[in-house]
Amino acid sequence: MRHFSIAGLQLQLSSQNNLELIKQEIEKTKATFPWVDMVVLAELNAFGPSTANATELPGETEQFFCEIARTHNIWLIPGSLFERDGDKTYNTAPVINPAGEVVSRYRKMFPFYPYEKGVEAGDQFTVFDVPDVGRFGISICYDQWFPETTRTLAWMGAEVILCPTMTNTIDRDIELAIARTNAVVGQCYFFNINVAGDLGKGQSIVVGPDGNVIYQADNGREIIPIEVDMDHVRRVRDRGLHGLGQTLKSFRDSKVKFPPYIEGHDKSAVLARLGDLALPTATLKKSQR
């Protein structure tokens, strides 16, 4: 069996410099669970959700995380950071190996428009290999609402999808259902790690490739160490969920050419009639209030 241990850190954070707190929490995690191979943090957990805190990558903040990974000999996905690249800002998640090297960076494809203002969308999928273990994929928060992201990562071979999240809104219960769906449709492990405290509702969730919830957190600080079994992923993909649906094989063998992906998802007359992507306006006019 190919076992690998991942700790999701659901931390109580605020809109400030949280780097030292994060460092202490990782130290505590490794002291308590020395067998952990990878640590995954939530979206924008280092400085909070303000683009004013955008930083260049590579840079001092990323190097701070690289040193932590090297010191504790862990794979580290330090959530995401607002990345400043010229006059553009991206929501970016670095992937750091146990040698303290950045092996990849993923830019969020679906910023939470129209609320996540001033943030550019990335256009490149990210998977990376942990030697002798398997392949991992990255998505960030709102990405998970678009099934094409998980489908593509699974198509690229991802056996585990890591999804740092910052959700403090009333739709968190829907995201929990989406996490289960992504796991079973992609036949992969799905780690959705949220922020707690002032910035998020918590309720991080880890789902297996069979759609079963391995763990769901409450609303406060939690350390979530989970041992994944990559052979279980391969068995589910080979034999199907409970020996039933073999979805990835059926998708592979299908002769259907899906129109949105051939003609372009922006070519739908129906979607065009939906209007601009903008904040909803008040239902009642002033005279009606």
The tens digit of pLDDT for each residue in 206-229 reads 999 999 999 999 999 999 999 999
Q: Which ranges of the chain have pLDDT less than 50? A: none
Tokens found for residue 205: 């969730």
- Does a structural domain hold residue 259? no
pLDDT value at residue 287: 65
| Strand 3-10 relative to strand 222-229, pairing | antiparallel
| Mean pLDDT over the full length of the chain | 94
> How many domains would you assign to the chain?
1
Sign of the CA dihedral 32, 228, 75, 65?
Answer: negative
- Does a structural domain hold residue 72? yes
- Does a structural domain hold residue 106? yes
- Does a structural domain hold residue 186? yes
pLDDT value at residue 265: 85
pLDDT value at residue 105: 98
Length of the chain, in residues: 289
pLDDT value at residue 288: 63
Q: Cα–Cα distance between 247 and 155 in angstroms, integer?
A: 12
CB atoms within 10 A of CB 108: 26
- Cβ atoms of 137 and 125 within 8 Å: the answer is yes
252-279: b (≥16 Cβ within 10 Å) or e: eeeeeeeeeeeeeeeeeeeeeeeeeeee
- Does a structural domain hold residue 252? no
- Does a structural domain hold residue 12? yes
Angle formed at CA 88 by CA 82 and CA 91, multiple of 5 degrees: 25
- Does a structural domain hold residue 171? yes
Tokens found for residue 15: 């809109």
| Coil, helix or strand at residue 13 | strand
Read off the pTM.
0.95
pLDDT value at residue 236: 95
pLDDT value at residue 174: 97
The number of helix segments (H) and strand segments (E) in the chain equals 8, 15
The domain that holds 78 is classified in CATH as: 3.60.110.10
Domain span including residue 229: 3-244
Tokens found for residue 45: 């957990």
- Does a structural domain hold residue 49? yes
pLDDT value at residue 285: 66
Residue 65 zone, left/alpha/beta (φ > 0; ψ -120 to 50; rest)? alpha
The tens digit of pLDDT for each residue in 50-96 reads 999 999 999 999 999 999 999 999 999 999 999 999 999 999 999 99
